[in-house]
Amino acid sequence: MRARRVRSRPRGEPEDSPWTSHVLYLRPKTAPEGLRPRRGKLQDEMVPDVGSPRPSRRVLVLCTGNSCRSQMAEAWLNRLAGGDVDAFSAGSRPAGYVHPLAVRVMAEAGIDISGHRTKPISEFLGRAFDYVVTVCDDAAESCPVFTGQGLRVHWGFEDPAQAEGDEIHRLQVFRRVRDGLRERIEALLAEMGA
């Protein structure tokens, strides 16, 4: 691909800004890493993609139903990592819904998971992850092999969906699991340097 360097910068930008110089690609097929197509007069111009840094690590959280623990862990990872981690969750036997009490206790922590959906493990087969975290005993024993997988981590948490009793007691169980997941995730992120 032929390219030529073009010197320009928007008015008011300092000379050492990333806009000082950019490359004009002639007939590019795809944008090189870290660059995005600029919309406007010169459609073939590529500029630094300063608005959307790529996450540096990928984490998959697994459990049985993907309705409580793994959903909460996915949400904590994405929130606490501040964009340094791209987290996903799945279940070996997806429940088909995110548990309403999981949605409620995460909302208490300021995280909205009401738009999450349950996903089967098969949706992620063949994808590379830096970490695969299992949060229940069932998933630890039935996880498929992931190609390119990094470190496998297991945290045994009780299934809050199985909690019995009145709603107050069940909410206590969900909150205990939510808070335990946060503690483990904070420690994992510190270990990862994220």
Q: Residue 143 catalytic?
A: yes
Please name the residues in contact with 37: beta carbons below 8 A apart, sequence gap of 6 or more.
Answer: 28, 31, 43, 44, 45, 46
Same domain, 112 and 162: yes
Beta strands, E only, the chain: 3-7, 21-25, 35-37, 45-48, 57-63, 85-91, 131-134, 151-154
Same domain, 96 and 150: yes
**8 domain-assigned:** no
Q: How confident is the model at residue 6 (pLDDT cuts 50, 70, 90)?
A: very low
The CATH number of whichever domain residue 119 belongs to comes to 3.40.50.2300
77-91 mean pLDDT = 93
Same domain, 126 and 84: yes
Specify the number of domains making up the chain: 2
Range of the domain at 49: 13-54
Same domain, 72 and 31: no
Task: Check whether 17 has a pLDDT greater than 90.
Answer: no
Per-residue model confidence (pLDDT) at position 142: 55
Q: Residue 68 catalytic?
A: no
**4 domain-assigned:** no
Same domain, 62 and 48: no
The alpha-carbon radius of gyration of the chain (Å, integer) is 22
Per-residue model confidence (pLDDT) at position 83: 87
What is the per-residue pLDDT across 28-68, written as a single tens digit (0 to 9) for each?
444 445 545 544 444 444 444 455 554 579 999 998 899 99
Same domain, 80 and 118: yes
Half-sphere exposure of 148 (CA within 13 A, CB side): 11
DSSP state of 10: -
Which pTM was predicted? 0.69
150-175 mean pLDDT = 92
What is the per-residue pLDDT across 88-126, written as a single tens digit (0 to 9) for each?
999 988 999 999 999 999 999 999 999 999 999 889 888
Same domain, 42 and 90: no
Catalytic residue, chosen from 132, 139, 143, 185, is 143
Contact 78, 180 (CB under 8 A): no
Per-residue model confidence (pLDDT) at position 136: 83
Per-residue model confidence (pLDDT) at position 75: 97
Catalytic residue, chosen from 63, 87, 173, 181, is 63
Catalytic residue, chosen from 72, 81, 98, 136, is 136
CA–CA gap between residue 127 and residue 144 (Å, rounded)? 12
Task: Check whether 192 has a pLDDT greater than 50.
Answer: yes
Per-residue model confidence (pLDDT) at position 8: 47
CA–CA gap between residue 49 and residue 37 (Å, rounded)? 9
Same domain, 178 and 138: yes
